[in-house]
Amino acid sequence: MTIMRTLLLAAAVPVVFAQTQTQPAGSPFPSSTYENATDPRAQAGAVSGQTSPPKYPSPWGEGLGDWDAAYAQAHDFVSQLTLTEKVNLTTGVGWQSEKCVGNTGSIPRLGFKALCMQDSPLGVRFADFVSAFPAGGTIAATWDRKLFYQRGYGMGSEHKEKGIDAQLGPVVGPLGRQAAGGRNWEGFSPDPVLAGIACAETVKGIQDAGVMSTTKHYILNEQEHFRQGAPPASLGLNALSSNVDDVTMHELYLWPFADAVRAGTVSIMCSYNQINNSQACQNSYTQNYLLKNELGFQGFIMSDWAATHSGVSSALAGLDQTMPGDIAFNSGTTYFGTNLTIAVLNGTVPQWRLDDMAVRIIAAWYYVDRPGNQVADAPNFSSWTSDTDGFRHYYQSLDYQRVNDHIDVRGNHGAEIRAQAAAGTVLLKNTGALPLSGKEQLTSVFGEDAAENPLGPNGCSDRGCDEGTLAMGWGSGTANFPYLVTPLEAIKAEVLSNGGSFESVTDNYAYSTIAALGRRTAQVGGACIAFGNADAGEGYITVDNNTGDRNNLTIWGDFDLLVANLTAQCNNTIVVLHTVGPVITNSFVDNPNVTAIIWAGIPGQESGNAITDILFGKVNPGGKLPFTIGSSRGEYGTEILYEPNNGNNSPQDNFEEGIFIDYRAFDKLGETPVFEFGLGLSYTTFSYSDLGVQAHSAPAYTAPSGNTGPAPTYGTVSNITSSYVFPASIDRIWNYIYPYLNSTSLSVSSGDPAYGINYTWPAGSYDSSSQPYVAAGGAPGGNPRLYDVLFTVTATITNTGDVVGDEVAQLYVNLGGADDAKVVLRNFDRLTIQPGATATFSADITRRDLSNWDSASQNWFISSATKTIFVGSSSRKLPLTTTLDLSGIITGPGSGGNGTAPVYPSSSASGYSSSATSSGDGSSSASTSVGSSVSVSSASSPTGYSSSFTTSAKPSGPAGYSHSSPPAYSPTGYRA
Ligand code: BGC
Ligand code: BGC
């Protein structure tokens, strides 16, 4: 319908604009391999079939960092719990079985209510009278720590008032490897430092409001295609494997998670994809080793929704909580619940591991003071209906009652959102048209993106359409708008209040009407403002053939043609873009009749007010691009894998570009961006001078000493199975996930025909003895010495124009090695400067900021290569530069930083190509045993730890992991 309309109308107009994007003939998607982007360090690690080494045992939380008080409380609490009460904390009750998107069981005996986990990273999903905050990418564009925190606190407060325990955000995975990645906008920026700082401040804001944050999706969840295997489900594919090398993992993708952990995020969500061919939620390397050992994470790992693919394997590999609890949505089966109870009773999951899960969850609860932040009758809303009355157990149609109290939790967030969105608006081009004076005789607005969706702002479920102005992408990362101020409404109100005249054409295809209005506007010296957008979202919704990830980087709705027609008549065309990421602007960027271009991001509910504040100069733009805008998608050096490339086995997505994504790729490939990372103009101008560097003495970089204690247990677990049989006093709800046994026989209770088959678990899984700390670890966020400040850089920034303005001064570093990026962002600050005045930019450089990762020693090190620093207004406008004096700093890889001359990790030094065979990686082999999650053994098996798993290594058979193909049997047997 849209296409036909386009063709007909296009045929009627003389100006037809050529498609500027080049794509291989005969293919809807490019199939380039971008050989030039290959990072030599990635070669041995980013290969098809790459394996993930086994790392056991799962580290037990110890109350490291500032977690000691929360751990002391958790120990007291968990010591009182029975086995099934502990299991209840680890397992969701099943999809749509209670009011939140995720709900654990409760512990009524101790007055502990079920935990409520609720999306999203930009506000409360599925609730009314909540705020729709700017998306992650837009708040990132403010480069303003105070606003990162303010937004986090605002979102956290709203979650708290609705009775939610954990907000499912923020997002730093996807980081944004591919420009077209569907969920990039939920996160912040493809730069790990900007993303890490934004994430940390968001975490602090959410948690200071008394709600748990869940940083997600861990890790390398960079695209939507095949994240859970298919689409389409009929292909039966396993989830995609993101194959990465050790250096890239540390220097790029793990970096912002380290910031999140250091900021105290109490929960981390493991992702749908595989990492080096091992499912994320049972990957012992990423969970046990990287997150819990190296990063010293003291909170709990929660699965993404149906991302759990095994019971015992996942538990031993570090998963602490499975969500929403059932194996596939509404399967009535579970990998934890009853099966975890059985596994503890027969010894396949040691009590210390279950206790650690429970302690981590309860410590998280205390860490953010959930006890002091409860509201009455929580949760006071239902995700599944907006009616006042409905079923508490929605899936079961049970317990009809009042489910929505319609509590307005918005506070003054509307005003904050308006300011946040304006602060995150980026002025890309301005030949003098802006700001508008307000005295224009005629102001004209063009484009569907200026107007409201005819179905209303919440008309498409989970925002799964691109109708009207774009203020949110689609998927689970959404909230309902309490209202949406459109650009059309806000600009019109402003123009009318100034006594001007206002007209609009919001049909993108009404070319002749657009041209006529443009011409008239130009003739009276007015302004033509054209709005365009590009949308994306989560892969379970397809919009205009975009299955989450975008198919291309063009602006939607034939916007290029609209602008071509408009600029043919109007010599003062201002382009405003609401996009989820980079878009191709080639067709109009250099057109002299395009007098200004603004990236207005994904602004949330106050969209129109925020853009009006910018257009009319009420707010001087100070945002900076959090990504690079290029002139073709090939320049980014990375691409979405749109087609399966491994038969029916896991598609293999090799991150062969290493650390070179976004601006690092442009620099490496010698591409000139259209608008570079960090760019943003103002209505004033700034100059940079007086670079200063102060060195600080810091303690030597030493590995943490000593060992952990042995794994603690809390309380004793009785092995009298009859005490765990489903209590007669509880009305069993159909298809609800419980921790109880069906029978005093574990084998019968499991319902697993293969119960008791021998299986040898990965070496070390059951080792509860004290363990050494890893050199790069020792505290939340990693070795605390990594965060020692080695240098402080200062510069003078002068406002050389006539109006007050904000400037984001940026500090970049070149680490000096042959395989390092030309520059990497390391710090920034947003300064408000009066006209003619100066401000001092001051930015710290930590040890981590100057370090590279060395795979051989599994540690960070500072190479002796020259470290050059740069200060300026964008990644390519860096007028101030100097080198750092490294004397006094011990450089080189090796033990404790006492190494010799720097040796960059050779291409063979990938920590991921370990000697582990695929069968040695319990997580990997287990992941492919469909439905064999039950993981229980007969007590008489020789090891005591056997299960239904076969020992066959890495079978790659049918997925069985997508929502549409649940395992064939029901191990818990709770079907009605
Ligand atoms: C998404 C998560 C989300 C969860 C619950 C998943 O499919 O990947 O981001 O939190 O669903 O809605
Ligand atoms: C749910 C989302 C979830 C997705 C997973 C959808 O049905 O609404 O919350 O993220 O399934 O694929």
Task: Compute CA 226 distance to the chain's CA centroid, rounded to the nearest angstrom.
Answer: 17
**57 found inside a domain:** no
Q: Which ligand 2 atom is at minimum distance from the Cα of 462? A: 8
The answer on 181 and 141 residing in a single domain is: yes
Token pair for 395: 């899936």
pLDDT of residue 797: 98
Side by side, the strands of the sheet bearing 501-505 are 426-430, 594-599, 573-579, 527-534, 442-446, 501-505
% of the chain exceeding 90 in pLDDT = 83
pLDDT of residue 930: 25
pLDDT of residue 171: 98
The answer on 904 and 793 residing in a single domain is: yes
Q: To test ligand 1's pocket by mutation, which of 305, 322, 462, 549 has the most ligand atoms within 8 angstroms of CB?
A: 305
What string of DSSP letters covers 314-337? HHHTT--BBSSSSSSTT-S--SSH
The answer on 739 and 811 residing in a single domain is: no
Lining ligand 2 with CB less than 6 A are 101, 305, 476, 540
pLDDT of residue 167: 98
The answer on 797 and 743 residing in a single domain is: no
Strands 102-103 and 116-118, how do they pair?
A: antiparallel
Neighbours of 79 (CB within 10 A): 15
Neighbours of 153 (CB within 10 A): 21
% of the chain exceeding 70 in pLDDT = 87
**172 found inside a domain:** yes
Residues 613-653: tens digit of each pLDDT: 999 999 999 999 999 999 999 999 999 999 989 988 899 99
Decide: helix, strand or coil at residue 465: coil
User: What's the CA-to-centroid distance between 95 and ligand 2, angstroms?
Assistant: 10
Q: Is 491 left (phi over 0), alpha (psi -120 to 50) or beta?
A: alpha
- The mean per-residue pLDDT over the stretch 128-144 comes to 98
Token pair for 61: 């939380």
Q: Band of the pLDDT at 597, cuts 50, 70, 90?
A: very high
Nearest CA to ligand 2 atom 7: 540
What's the rounded Cα separation, in Å, for the pair 714 and 77?
9
Domain membership of residue 430 as a residue range: 418-628
| Residue 841 dihedral angles phi and psi, to the nearest 5° | -85, 130
Q: Is the pLDDT of residue 275 over 60?
A: yes
pLDDT of residue 894: 55
Angle at 795 between CA 789 and CA 796, to 5 degrees: 145
**657 found inside a domain:** no
**666 found inside a domain:** no
- The mean per-residue pLDDT over the stretch 564-580 comes to 98
**658 found inside a domain:** no
Cβ neighbors of 705 (< 8 A, separation 6 or more) are 773
pLDDT of residue 38: 73
Strands 852-854 and 859-861, how do they pair?
A: antiparallel
Per mean pLDDT, which range of 59-68, 353-362, 638-647 is the poorest? 638-647
Does the reported pTM lie above 0.75? yes
The amino acid present at 49, given as its one-letter code, is: G
The answer on 313 and 185 residing in a single domain is: yes
Ligand that comes closest to the CA of residue 169: 1
The amino acid present at 747, given as its one-letter code, is: S
pLDDT of residue 33: 46
Q: What is the average pLDDT value for the chain, to the nearest integer?
A: 88
Residues 386-423: tens digit of each pLDDT: 999 999 999 999 999 999 999 999 999 999 999 999 99
The answer on 364 and 273 residing in a single domain is: yes
User: What's the CA-to-centroid distance between 157 and ligand 2, angstroms?
Assistant: 24
Q: Is the pLDDT of residue 813 over 50?
A: yes
Q: Is the pLDDT of residue 8 over 90?
A: no
- Our separate counts of H helices and E strands in the chain read 21, 29
Q: Nearest Cα to 549, choosing from 225, 261, 861?
A: 225
Does residue 223 contact residue 635 with C-beta atoms inside 8 Å? no
**31 found inside a domain:** no
Q: What CATH number is attached to the domain comprising 186?
A: 3.20.20.300
What string of DSSP letters covers 137-151? HHHHTTT-HHHHHHH
Angle at 300 between CA 269 and CA 964, to 5 degrees: 40
Bridge partners (DSSP) of residue 861 are 852
Q: Report the catalytic residues.
A: 304
Does residue 727 contact residue 85 with C-beta atoms inside 8 Å? no
Q: Is the pLDDT of residue 513 over 70?
A: yes
Nearest CA to ligand 2 atom 6: 540
The CA-to-CA distance between both ends of the chain, in Å, stands at 46
| Residue 595 dihedral angles phi and psi, to the nearest 5° | -90, -15
Bridge partners (DSSP) of residue 504 are 445
Ligand that comes closest to the CA of residue 477: 1
Residue by residue, what is the 3-state secondary structure of 548-610?
Answer: CCCCCCCCCCCHHHHHHHHHCCCCCEEEEEEECCCCCCHHHHCCCCEEEEEECCCCCCCHHHH
What's the rounded Cα separation, in Å, for the pair 100 and 651?
33
Nearest CA to ligand 2 atom 12: 540
User: What's the CA-to-centroid distance between 223 and ligand 1, angstroms?
Assistant: 14
The amino acid present at 418, given as its one-letter code, is: R
Q: At what angle do helices 413-423 and 607-615 cross, to 10 degrees?
A: 50
- The mean per-residue pLDDT over the stretch 238-266 comes to 97
The answer on 274 and 345 residing in a single domain is: yes
Bridge partners (DSSP) of residue 117 are 102, 166
Neighbours of 4 (CB within 10 A): 8
Lining ligand 1 with CB less than 6 A are 101, 119, 168, 216, 304-305, 476
pLDDT of residue 474: 98
pLDDT of residue 972: 35
The answer on 720 and 588 residing in a single domain is: no
**286 found inside a domain:** yes
Q: Is the pLDDT of residue 964 over 90?
A: no
**21 found inside a domain:** no
Bridge partners (DSSP) of residue 300 are 267
Residues 430-455: tens digit of each pLDDT: 999 999 999 999 999 999 999 999 99
Neighbours of 12 (CB within 10 A): 10
The answer on 365 and 258 residing in a single domain is: yes
Side by side, the strands of the sheet bearing 868-872 are 824-833, 805-814, 868-872, 880-883
Residues 213-240: tens digit of each pLDDT: 999 999 999 999 999 886 555 556 689 9
Q: Band of the pLDDT at 892, cuts 50, 70, 90?
A: confident
User: What's the CA-to-centroid distance between 99 and ligand 2, angstroms?
Assistant: 15
Does residue 471 contact residue 602 with C-beta atoms inside 8 Å? yes
**Final residue in a domain of this structure, among 628, 645, 660:** 628
Neighbours of 671 (CB within 10 A): 18
The answer on 508 and 375 residing in a single domain is: no
Per mean pLDDT, which range of 235-249, 536-550, 709-723 is the poorest? 235-249
Q: What CATH number is attached to the domain comprising 849?
A: 2.60.40.10
The b/e string for 764-793 (b: 16+ C-beta within 10 A; e otherwise) is bbbeeeebebbbbbbbbbbbbbbbbebbeb
The answer on 614 and 734 residing in a single domain is: no
Decide: helix, strand or coil at residue 898: coil
In degrees to the nearest 10, what's the CA dihedral of 393, 965, 309, 337? 30
Q: Count of domains in the chain?
A: 3
Q: Band of the pLDDT at 324, cuts 50, 70, 90?
A: very high
The answer on 836 and 898 residing in a single domain is: yes
Helices (H), 637-790: 663-669, 746-750
Burial of 589 (0-12, 13-18, 19+ CB in 10 A): middle
User: What's the CA-to-centroid distance between 710 and ligand 1, angstroms?
Assistant: 35
User: What's the CA-to-centroid distance between 325 and ligand 1, angstroms?
Assistant: 13
pLDDT of residue 40: 85
Q: To test ligand 2's pocket by mutation, which of 125, 126, 476 has the most ligand atoms within 8 angstroms of CB?
A: 476
Bridge partners (DSSP) of residue 320 are none
Q: Band of the pLDDT at 897, cuts 50, 70, 90?
A: very low
What string of DSSP letters covers 836-894? T-EEEEEEEEETGGG-EEETTTTEEE--SSPPEEEEESSSS---EEEE---TTS--SSS
What's the rounded Cα separation, in Å, for the pair 372 and 390?
29
pLDDT of residue 19: 29
Decide: helix, strand or coil at residue 503: strand
- The mean per-residue pLDDT over the stretch 465-477 comes to 98
Bridge partners (DSSP) of residue 547 are 542
Q: What CATH number is attached to the domain comprising 516?
A: 3.40.50.1700
Helices (H), 329-470: 337-345, 351-367, 413-423
* Greatest pairwise CA separation for the chain in angstroms: 91
What does each C-alpha distance from 694 to 791, 794, 845 come to in angstroms? 5, 8, 10
Nearest CA to ligand 2 atom 10: 476
Q: To test ligand 1's pocket by mutation, which of 384, 538, 964 has the most ligand atoms within 8 angstroms of CB?
A: 538
Nearest CA to ligand 2 atom 8: 476
Q: What single-letter DSSP state applies at residue 345?
A: H
